[in-house]
Amino acid sequence: MRTEDYYKEILRKYWGYQDFRSIQLNIIQSIAEGRDTLGLMPTGGGKSITFQVPALAMEGVCIVITPLIALMKDQVANLKKRHIKAAAVYSGMTREQIITTLENCIFGAVKILYVSPERLASNLFLTKLRHINVSFITVDEAHCITQWGYDFRPSYLKIANIRQHLPGKPILALTATATPAVVDDIQDKLHFRAKNVFSMSFERSNLAYIVRKTENRAAEMLHILNKIDGCAIIYVRNRKETKELAEFLCNNNVKATFYHAGLADSIRDERQREWQSDKIRVMVATNAFGMGIDKPDVRIVIHIEAPDCIESYFQEAGRAGRDGEKAYAILLTNRSDIARLRKRAVADFPDKEYIRKVYEHVAYFFQIAVGSGYGMAFKFNIMKFCRNFKHYPAMVEAALRILEQAGYIEYNCNDDAKSRVMFDLRRDELYRLHNNSQLEDKLIETLLRNYNGLFVDYGMVDEDFLSHLIGCEETEVHECLKLLARKHIISYIPPRDEPLIRYVQSRELTERISIPYYIYEQRLEKSKERTEAMISYMTCETECRSVMLLEYFGEKNGKRCNMCDVCTSANDDEDDMEYAIRRIMEYLSDGTPRTYKELRDFDHKIETNVLANALDYLLSEEKVTTDGIHITSNNA
């Protein structure tokens, strides 16, 4: 068994840290001992260290399962910079690229392999897995496996099956947000051999949670940014708002840019670099921004609207103040939010008869007869489907998700399927080409300079990046690539914007489609409960915001933060004596005896004479006792 010093040496060698934080070492030792382990670590808690360090300490390959392709790529790139052998397998790679990566795992050229959950069940992956020496399995974003959670993904339910192929190998599940029910369900769904949970406190003592009512959110956002210095993230609900609010801030002398999943990778990467290097102060973004972002000095996170649930809000707000300095998580709200949230809670659950109708119409759309279709996959043009059958896209999406969860189809919306190009001609033949336009020649030259291997296999290319290099519009690059393909100079696979629908069982008669209670009614009820918890957080004006969040995640006896809007408002209403008495009793509530100096130092708002008077009162009322040196609460 490796020693604590051995793990610390790995930490120092590859990351430069002198010691582990909080429960990191406990998790590392647990998984190294071969025990199934669940690590509950809020945003910024250092989850990655808990599997990366033991992966380097143990023989074999650590398989890391995560649904976030962008995060996979980011993690692999960061590990390679630290000279750690890492790789990833995900949608968008060619079969040859996947085979090469998996064979590298077999021959010991990879220590950490990132895999999307959908890839686990593929015959290719399972065939290669038999020959890979696996050290342990890590499941990131583990809350996705449970229908009690806020981000349930059916593909996660298949993860436990991999344990049949790797008997005896331990599993490490990690999540940043989980209620007690979710914690239990994660262990059950992953077939833990024994319950084993390590949990950090969700308390963020440096983070002031603020809820502010306003009818003009943009103006209030600007007011906050002008009042509080430092780097900021502004979270909004849709892509259109990201651009509008960024332009509003720029027009008001605040350096800002915007970010969402619809932007090209090159643009997203560039904007993220500008923000992380402080060339841009404010990032206005959808929730696509944040995963894997390691910027410790974010001073403000503002939500223009409330997220659907406490879990999402806590995770996004927690990106502020990771350096331990004071920071602010501010939620802007107004009278319309409650009705909007409640409407959104049921939007993902259309009527069951409607779901059956969508299933039937999809079969008509693809001309699938009853009893056929098993294993068949189709590109799904949702806009054409909606036009043909008079549906609304959002409701169709919701129906397809439920049909997927019920086991009838797989609905794969893959934003990562980029364009691919391969040259049909040899390099020397390109130089003998005539009659090409200036743009065609420039594009060929740019492809040759910026992409390797295009003469032997397809490579992913980015039209937006190419247009930036050439100095033309993205649409011109797209048309030019199609023209070069028609001339048989290149083979070109355009980006696949359309999702895929795959039948995982033969088409059923519509009336026999069954939507189980646990898929529909139970999840609908949970959705409503999460919404009501979010509304309570927004509207409560009597309970400390921090205490409310802690209680939601199962932490009882949380102390008032004295920083949130509720606490500071209550403090304003108290006189100095009342405030001192309340704070002394809070400080002594855990039963630990404290010296007078400790009482004096723990809250500098309390004047020395007020502290002395408050202690005299508490002693006379026998609420505290003293042995002449220490003071102890009688109520603890």
pLDDT at 254: 95
pLDDT at 174: 93
Q: pLDDT by residue (tens digit) across 13-59?
A: 999 888 998 899 999 999 999 999 999 987 766 888 999 999 999 99
pLDDT at 417: 55
For residue 68, with 0-12 CB atoms within 10 Å meaning exposed, 13-18 middle and 19 or more buried, which class applies?
middle
Q: Is 489 helix (H, G, I), strand (E, B) or coil?
A: coil
pLDDT at 123: 81
Q: Has residue 302 got a pLDDT over 90?
A: yes
> 132 or 154: whose pLDDT is higher?
132
Q: How many residues does the chain have?
A: 636
pLDDT at 181: 86
DSSP 231-283: EEEEE-SSHHHHHHHHHHHHHTT--EEEE-TTS-HHHHHHHHHHHHTTSSSEE
% of the chain surpassing 90 pLDDT: 46
2 HSE (CA, 13 A, CB side):
22
* Most trustworthy range by pLDDT among 1-15, 51-65, 157-171, 550-564: 51-65
Q: pLDDT by residue (tens digit) across 400-453?
A: 999 998 989 988 765 445 677 888 888 888 878 888 898 999 999 999 888 877
> Phi and psi for 198 in degrees, rounded to 5?
-115, 125
**Which tokens hold the place of 104?**
């590298």
**Which tokens hold the place of 186?**
């994660």
pLDDT at 415: 45
> Phi and psi for 191 in degrees, rounded to 5?
60, 45
Type of residue numbered 98: I
Type of residue numbered 526: K
Q: Has residue 497 got a pLDDT over 60?
A: no
Rounded to the nearest 10 degrees, what angle do helices 47-57 and 4-15 cross at?
110
pLDDT at 291: 65
DSSP 132: S
Q: Has residue 573 got a pLDDT over 70?
A: no
**Which tokens hold the place of 202?**
């969700």
% of the chain surpassing 70 pLDDT: 94
- Region 221-229: mean pLDDT is 93
Give the full edge-to-edge strand order of the sheet including 231-235: 207-213, 327-333, 298-303, 231-235, 282-285, 256-259
Residue 116's pLDDT band (cuts 50, 70, 90)? confident
- Region 350-363: mean pLDDT is 96
- Region 226-253: mean pLDDT is 93
Q: pLDDT by residue (tens digit) across 545-561?
A: 999 999 998 888 778 88
Q: What angle do CA 248, 252, 258 make, to 5 degrees?
A: 40
- Region 332-350: mean pLDDT is 90
Q: Has residue 115 got a pLDDT over 60?
A: yes
- Region 96-119: mean pLDDT is 91
Type of residue numbered 395: M
Per residue, the 3-state secondary structure of 339-370, as one string, reads HHHHHHHHHCCCCHHHHHHHHHHHHHHHCCCC
- Region 211-215: mean pLDDT is 91
**Distances 432 to 269, 349, 429, 439, 480 between C-alpha atoms, Å:** 37, 60, 5, 17, 19
Q: Has residue 627 got a pLDDT over 50?
A: yes
> 85 or 634: whose pLDDT is higher?
85
- Region 324-334: mean pLDDT is 93
- Mean pLDDT, all residues of the chain: 87
pLDDT at 95: 80
Residue 83's pLDDT band (cuts 50, 70, 90)? very high
Cβ contacts of 215 within 8 Å, gap of 6 or more? 334
Residue 149's pLDDT band (cuts 50, 70, 90)? low
CA 94 to chain centre: 26
* Most trustworthy range by pLDDT among 244-248, 494-498, 622-626: 244-248
Residue 369's pLDDT band (cuts 50, 70, 90)? very high
**Which tokens hold the place of 464?**
């937006």
Q: pLDDT by residue (tens digit) across 181-209?
A: 889 999 999 999 999 999 988 888 899 99
Residue reference for tokens 């042995």: 627
Residue reference for tokens 């490579």: 459
pLDDT at 458: 65
Residue reference for tokens 């939010």: 337
Q: Cα-atom radius of gyration of the chain, to the nearest Å?
A: 28
pLDDT at 413: 67
Q: pLDDT by residue (tens digit) across 252-273?
A: 999 999 998 777 677 888 898 8
- Region 279-297: mean pLDDT is 85
- Region 279-293: mean pLDDT is 86
